[in-house]
Structure 1
Amino acid sequence: MYKYNNFYKKNFIFKIIENDIKNKKYNLICTRFPPEPNGHLHIGHIKSVCLNFSIAKFYKGKFFLRIDDTNPSTENIKYIKSIKKDLIWLGFKWDENIKYTSNYFNLIYKYAVELIKKDLAYVDELNIQDIKNYRGTLLTPGKNSPYRNRSVKENLKLFEKMYLGDFPEGSVCLRAKIDMKSKIIVMRDPVLYRIKFQNHHQTKRKWCIYPTYDFSHCISDAIEGITHSLCTLEFQDNKILYNWILNNINIKKNHPKQYEFSKLNIEYGITSKRNINILIKNKIVSGWDDPRLLTISGLRRKGYTPSSLKNFCYSIGVTKQNNIIEMSFLESCIKSELNELAPRSMAILRPLKIIIDNFPFKKKIKLLIPNHPNKKNMGYRNIYFTKEIYIDILDFSEIEKKNYKRLILGYKVKLRYSFIIKARKIVKDKNNNIIYVHCKYYKDSLGKKINRKKQNVKGIIHWISCYYVKPAKFYLYKNLFIKKDIHINDNILNFLNKKSLLIYNGFIEKNLLENNSNRHFQFEREGYFFFDKKYSNKNKIIFNRILSLRMNDK
C-alpha cells in the first residue's frame, strides 16, 4: 500500500489545487509528465510522475505522457522506448495516446510568426558565443543585438528563409524581443528557434528549424489543456517567460499555471544526464542500467521494486526546500518489502573448502529447512550435509581474534541448521594460501540447542555442500562516489569510489532457481540479492546485491 495519506495532507501543491477547485477555476484537472528523450529516466523523474499522476488520479482528471522532442541532435528513439518501459514497469498509466511536442510544430511555428508580426521577435545573426556575451551577467545588464531593430517585414522574410533551410546551421536564430536589461537573465531576448539539419525520429526531414524548450513547453501545455504545470525549482525564473509567451500569443484564455517544487537529491548519487554520459563515456559504469546509477533501469536491475520506489517518493513528500535525502532512507523502503517477501537461502561468495574427516565420503544427510524463519507459508526445502562443504573464507581464521565469532583453528563453530564442527588442520599451497581446512563434526549436535560458553562454540556460520551447488557471480555494489553532495558543476571523476563494485565467483544452492519465479533472495549473513536474468545465461548466473546485512558496508 503506497503512502498516499501524508502525501496528500502535507503537499502544498494539493492545497493550491484544492483552492482552485473551491473557486471553480477548473472543470477538469489535467497534468502531464514531459521527459526529453535524451537518456533514461532517473529517480527524480519518479517523484515528478508520482506527483502529476497522483493529482490526476485523486481529482479524477487526466494525466498525459508528452515526449519533449525539440532537439534531434541529442534525442533517440531508443530513449522513448525506455521511457515507456520504465513508466509501465512502475505501474503508471497515461490517458490517451502518447503525445509529442513535435505534434504541435505547425502551431508553434504559427505562434512564432505571430510574435514577429507583433514586433516581439526577430531573426538574429549573432553566433552562440556573441549571444552569450551580449546577454550580460547577474551583475551587469545585457546589450541589444545589432540585428534587434530589423523591420517586421524583414524578420518575416528571414524566418521563412530559416524554415526553407537557406541558412547554415548555427548562423541565425529567432529570438524574443523582451528586455536586455531585465534582472531576470532568461528574459533577455531568449532564443525561440534554431536551425538543426538532422533527422527527427518523428517528423523525419520535414523541419530544419526547431523550437526551444522554453518556447514550446508552455504552448504544448496550453494546447493540451494542462491546468497545473509542475516543474523543479531551477525553472522558477522561467515561469516569467512561460507567462510572457502565453500572454503574447493568441491562444485560449485559461492558461496553465506553473508551480515549482524541490528537486530530488540523494547523497552519494547523481541524476544529471550529462554526468551520467561522462561516466558511460569513460567506462566507469556499464551503461544507463548500471545498478550503481539512480536511473530507473539501474535501480530495476539492482533489484528495487516499483512499490518500494513509489513509497520512497511518497514518503519524502513535495516541498520547496532543497535538501539531500539519505541513501539509507531509500534502502529502508526496499528492505521493509524484502524482509517480508524474500525467501532465505545460503550462498558462498568467497569459497573455502572444508573437509569433514570423520564423515563418510559417500554419505549424505538430508536436512529440511525453512525458506523463511517467520513465514511457514513460504515452505521448506532440502539441503545436504556432506563430507566436503564450502564456507566463506571470511568466516575462518588461523588465530583467535577479539570479538571474532566464527571458525578458528582449534575451536568449534555451529553450521546453520546443521552440526557443530571443529577446525583441526590447514592445508596451504606454496604461496601460503589456504586450500582447505580439515574439520571434525559432532554427530550428536544436530538439532540441539547450543551453549556457546559451555561447549566452546564461537558462533554460527552459513555453509553449502560442495556436491549440491551451482557456480554464480555476485556483484556487490557500493556508493559510486565518496562525496555526499555532488554538485552539477563538480568534476565527478575526482570523487569516484574505486571500490564501488566488487565481483566474486562463488556458489548458490543447486535448486535455488528451479521452479522458482522469485528473483529476490536473502542470502543468509550476506544480504538481499537479485537474480540478474537479463545478463545471465545457462553458463553464467549473476546476482546483484541490493542491500548488505552488515552495518556500514557502503
Structure 2
Amino acid sequence: MSAAKPESSDANAPTPAPTDFIRDLVAQDVAAQRYPQIVTRFPPEPNGYLHIGHAKSICLNFGLARENAGRCHLRFDDTNPVKEDVEYVEAIAADVRWLIAGWADHCLGYKPKGAHPAAQSVAGKPDFHLAAVAPSEAAEPFFASDYFEALYGYAVELIKKGRAYVCDLSAEDTDAYRGSPDKPGRNSPFRDRSVAENLDLFTRMRAGEFPNGARSLRAKIDMASPNIWLRDPLLYRIRHVPHHHAGDQWCLYPLYDFAHCLSDYLEGITHSVCTLEFEVHRPLYDWILGSLDLPRPLPHQYEFAKLQLAYTLVSKRKLLALVAGNVVSAWDDPRMPTLSGLRRRGIPAAALRDFVTGVGVTKFDSLTEAAVFENCVRTHLNGAAQRRLAVLKPIKLVLTNLAPGETVACTATNNPQDENPTTRPLALTREVYIEADDFAEVPPPKYFRLKPGGEVRLKYACIIKCEELVKDAAGALVEIRCTADLTTRNGQPNADRKVKGTVHWVSATQCVDAVVRLYDRLFTVPEPAAEEDFLKVVNPKSLETVTAKLEASLASAQIGESFQFERLGYFTPDAKDHASGRPVFNRTITLKDTWAKA
C-alpha cells in the first residue's frame, strides 16, 4: 500500500493539502489499505470544450491522486458518436495537460496506443483489465470506445442472468411506460422474453439487422422503484453512425450509465468522483457492477457540488449557442469560460487551480462571486508579471525644453515584487504619449492628473508642467505642450520633489503600435443561466479594441508571457493573432475590480 505523500514534500505545493469530505473518505481507505493504489479519473464526453466548471473536477481528481501517490486517468466517455468529434478530443487533452503541468502531470495515466482491455484470470475467474502507462509518444488517453467489445460481453452476461432484455418499445413509448416521480411505471410488454430470444435479438442488433430506434437493451430492475433511473433503464441503443475513434465497426452503442461504471472497473479506478447530478445514478452504478461476477475490488462513486461562478455560463449547449450565433468568435474566445478561452486570455493555470481548490468541495450548490476568481488571478499575476508602459488611448505631449532627437536616459523597474528586482532602460524624448484620460482641460475637483498650469510626474522620468494646448480648426485638442524639470529625475538634486499625480507614458519615437483587446465579463447579470433568454444579458461592452502605443521592449514579447501595463491591468500576447511586427495583446484582467460598485 502506498502511503499518502505529504504536500510539503512537493516543491510545487506552496500550501498544505486541502481538506474536505471526499478527501476524508479517501484518507480512511488509505489508512485501511483497501486498495494497492488510489486511482481516480477525469472522464469528459468529447462533445464540447472544457470550461471552468470542469477545472474543479480536474483539480479534485488529480489532487486526490497527487496527495496519495496515486494516479488519475484521462478518459473520454465517448459512447455517443452523434455529438462527439476529434476536435474536442484534442482540445480537451491539451486543456488538461495545461492545467496540471508542473503540478500533477506526474500522476496522469494514459494507455498504450491502440490498447484494449486484456483478458486475465483473478481468483480463478475470467476478467479484463487495461493498465495505465505514463504519457509518451506511444501512449494516448483512455477511451470508453476501446471497451466496446468488453462491454458487449458484460451485456450478454446480464442477459444470460435474466437481468437484461431486448425491448421493442419506441423512445416515446419507453418514456410513457417509465411513469413519473410520483407515479410508478409499467412493465414493457417485451420484458418477459426468454433468455434465448434476447440473446438472438441482441446478436442481430449488433450485426446491423435493425434500423435506428427499432430495439434497445434494457436492464430488468424495478418499474415501480421510487428512483426513476432504476425503472428498467436503457443499456444499449441502435445507431448506424460511424464513431470518431472506433470507426464503423459498431452500430450498437452503450449508454453512459452502463459504460461508465464498467469503464471504471476495467481501468481499476478506486474512487469515481463526479458532480451531484449523478447522485441519483449511483444506485444504478452499483447495480450494474453488483450484477456481474467481477473478481476485482469494485469502484465506488462519490458526488460533490459543481462550481457555479457568477456572470458565467457552464452549459455546453449554451456555450455552443454563443459560438454558433457569433456572439463570440470561437470556443477559445477570451471572453468564454472555456479553459482554452481562459488560457488565451492569460489566466495562469496555477491561479485557476488555487481558485477551484479554495472554493472547496461540498455537497451544497452555491454561487461563487466572480470577484473571488478575479482576485486570485490578480494575486498570481502581481507576483509574476513584468511591468511595462503602454498607452491605450494616446494623446501627444511635447516637452518643449528637449531638443528634437534628444533622449534622456531613465530606468524602470521590471517587477517590484521580485526578491531582487531588475531594471530596464527607458528613453524620454521630446515627444511622448500619455493617456487621454490623464488630461483634463476643465478638471473636476480633486483632480490630480495633468491640467493647464498643473504638474505631474512622468513615471520613472521627471516632473512636467502643462504650459500650452494646441488645437485644430475644429477645436479638438491635438497636443499638449509642457516643460520637463529634469532636475527631478532619479539621482538628480530635486528627485524628492513631490507632486500629487503620476502618469504613465511612452516615447512617441521609440514605441510600438499594437492592437489591444480590452475584455470584460461576458454577461451583465450574476446568473445568466437563470434568464429566460440568456442572450439578452450579453454584455455589449465585453470587448473593446484599441490601437495602443507600447514601450519598445514589448516588440519582443512572446506568446505565454504576462505583463502588467502599469496603471492599466494585466495583458498577454494573443495566442492566435500576435506575431512579430504585428503585436496583438489581450487584457487578462484590470488592476482593480471595476464591477464592485456596479
TM range (shorter): over 0.9
Corresponding residue of 1:47: 56
Corresponding residue of 1:252: 295
Is 2:443 aligned against 1:400?
Answer: yes
- Alpha-carbon separation, structure 1, partners of 2:65 and 2:418: 38
Deviation at 1:518, TM superposition (A): 7.2
Residues 152-551 of structure 1: pairs in structure 2 closer than 5 A: 152-252=195-295, 254-375=297-418, 377-429=420-472, 432-447=475-490, 448-449=494-495, 457=499, 459-487=501-529, 491-514=533-556, 519-551=561-593
Between 520-529 and 495-504, report the one with greater CA deviation.
495-504
Correspondence for 1:151 among 159, 169, 194: 194
The 8 Å contact of residues 343 and 378 in structure 1, kept in 2 or not, is answered as: no
Is 2:66 aligned against 1:83?
Answer: no
Deviations along 1:334-371, one digit per CA (max 9) or x if unpaired, are 32222222111110111111123333223221212222
The one-letter code matched in structure 1 to 2:501 is G
Deviation at 1:401, TM superposition (A): 0.5
The 8 Å contact of residues 527 and 548 in structure 1, kept in 2 or not, is answered as: yes
The one-letter code matched in structure 1 to 2:426 is I
- Counterparts in 2 of 1:3 and 1:332: CA distance versus 1, 3 Å: farther
Relative to the length of structure 1, the TM-score reads: 0.92
Correspondence for 1:68 among 62, 74, 77: 77
Unaligned runs of 5+ in 2: 1-11, 110-132, 134-138
- Alpha-carbon separation, structure 2, partners of 1:431 and 1:249: 85
- Counterparts in 2 of 1:286 and 1:508: CA distance versus 1, 3 Å: same
Unaligned runs of 5+ in 1: none
Corresponding residue of 1:59: 68
The one-letter code matched in structure 2 to 1:60 is A
The 8 Å contact of residues 345 and 524 in structure 1, kept in 2 or not, is answered as: yes
The 8 Å contact of residues 50 and 95 in structure 2, kept in 1 or not, is answered as: yes
The 8 Å contact of residues 514 and 547 in structure 2, kept in 1 or not, is answered as: yes
Between 195-204 and 123-132, report the one with greater CA deviation.
123-132
- Alpha-carbon separation, structure 2, partners of 1:27 and 1:335: 41
- Counterparts in 2 of 1:60 and 1:368: CA distance versus 1, 3 Å: closer
- Alpha-carbon separation, structure 2, partners of 1:298 and 1:418: 37
Matched position secondary structure for 1:142: coil
The 8 Å contact of residues 2 and 314 in structure 1, kept in 2 or not, is answered as: no
Between 409-418 and 224-233, report the one with greater CA deviation.
409-418
Corresponding residue of 2:167: 124
The 8 Å contact of residues 34 and 67 in structure 1, kept in 2 or not, is answered as: yes
- Alpha-carbon separation, structure 1, partners of 2:418 and 2:292: 64
Between 523-532 and 108-117, report the one with greater CA deviation.
108-117
- Alpha-carbon separation, structure 2, partners of 1:459 and 1:173: 74
The 8 Å contact of residues 29 and 35 in structure 2, kept in 1 or not, is answered as: yes
Deviation at 1:305, TM superposition (A): 1.8
Deviation at 1:423, TM superposition (A): 2.9
TM-align CA RMSD: 2.3
- Alpha-carbon separation, structure 2, partners of 1:517 and 1:74: 32
Deviation at 1:451, TM superposition (A): 5.5
Corresponding residue of 2:124: none
Aligned length in residues: 548
The 8 Å contact of residues 482 and 496 in structure 1, kept in 2 or not, is answered as: yes
The 8 Å contact of residues 355 and 437 in structure 1, kept in 2 or not, is answered as: yes
The 8 Å contact of residues 555 and 583 in structure 2, kept in 1 or not, is answered as: no
The 8 Å contact of residues 292 and 298 in structure 1, kept in 2 or not, is answered as: yes
Correspondence for 2:37 among 28, 34, 37: 28
Deviations along 1:94-116, one digit per CA (max 9) or x if unpaired, are 23142211121111111212222
Is 2:13 aligned against 1:2?
Answer: yes
Deviations along 1:183-226, one digit per CA (max 9) or x if unpaired, are 21211221111122222122110001110110000011111221
- Counterparts in 2 of 1:489 and 1:234: CA distance versus 1, 3 Å: farther
Q: Percent identity?
A: 41
Matched position secondary structure for 2:177: helix
- Alpha-carbon separation, structure 1, partners of 2:33 and 2:465: 78
- Counterparts in 2 of 1:283 and 1:351: CA distance versus 1, 3 Å: same
Corresponding residue of 1:106: 149
Between 133-142 and 379-388, report the one with greater CA deviation.
133-142
- Alpha-carbon separation, structure 1, partners of 2:240 and 2:559: 49
- Alpha-carbon separation, structure 2, partners of 1:55 and 1:3: 17
- Alpha-carbon separation, structure 1, partners of 2:403 and 2:218: 86
Deviation at 1:431, TM superposition (A): 5.5
The 8 Å contact of residues 378 and 591 in structure 2, kept in 1 or not, is answered as: no
Deviation at 1:42, TM superposition (A): 2.1
The one-letter code matched in structure 2 to 1:498 is P
Matched position secondary structure for 2:95: helix
The one-letter code matched in structure 2 to 1:368 is T
- Counterparts in 2 of 1:449 and 1:350: CA distance versus 1, 3 Å: same
Matched position secondary structure for 2:576: helix
- Counterparts in 2 of 1:139 and 1:516: CA distance versus 1, 3 Å: closer
Between 416-425 and 287-296, report the one with greater CA deviation.
416-425
Between 12-21 and 339-348, report the one with greater CA deviation.
12-21
The 8 Å contact of residues 39 and 270 in structure 2, kept in 1 or not, is answered as: yes
